[in-house]
Amino acid sequence: MFGRFLPKETSFFDFFEQHAALTVEGTKEFLSLVTTGANIETKAKRVSDIEHETDVITHRCVEALHKTFITPIDRDNIHRLITRMDDVMDFVEAAAERIALYELTVMTTDVRDLADVLVRAAQQVELATKGLRNLKDPQSILKQCIDINRLENESDQILRRAVAKLFKEEKDPIMVIKWKEVYENLENAADRCEDVANIIEGVILEHS
């Protein structure tokens, strides 16, 4: 419904959808990394490459925002949405980088659980951003936002459990520090998914 107001060369919805699709790919790659514990350097590098691709999309979106007089949704919402989306892959990359850097080769059930939740949250973000293009089914988008909030709560619970287990069972304090940092980066990524959901929910309510 908004497309007719935009210059033909600029579609902020394209930016959102491309970014979201790459984020799903990146979270899946990370899940593969922590599921198998094999080819860690290669998979961490792929996560980093995907993060760079999302950065490029973010920069193009912000550049287009500065050049576009009429925007389909509030300018501030566009900027907040794309930057919060970008934060997700920043944290995923940070987690992958630390696993490789700290030479963590024996994966925990908790890191796999956090990665699995993050994949599901990224998939819901992708669905919600696709719905923004025409707003034909706002209730469906709001449901996806609720699902993302639920998944973030699930991630919170896993983080608390994981950290408690670390302090209780891990005897090497250096390993505690390493894994805690990985876990917290993944939880931060889930937090940013929730931020994205909150922004999208605000946009839906503004246009309802």
For residue range 23-77, list pLDDT tens digits in order: 999 999 999 999 988 899 999 999 999 999 999 999 999 999 988 888 888 999 9
| H helix and E strand count, the chain | 6, 0
Over residues 101-151, the pLDDT tens digits come to 999 999 999 999 999 999 999 999 999 999 998 878 889 999 999 999 999
pTM: 0.92
141 in Cβ contact with 203 (< 8 Å): no
d(Cα 196, Cα 175) in Å, to the nearest integer? 32
Over residues 163-188, the pLDDT tens digits come to 999 999 999 999 999 999 999 999 99
d(Cα 125, Cα 169) in Å, to the nearest integer? 35
What is the set of domains in the chain, with CATH numbers?
3-206 (1.20.58.220)
Residue type, 41: E
DSSP label at residue 69: S
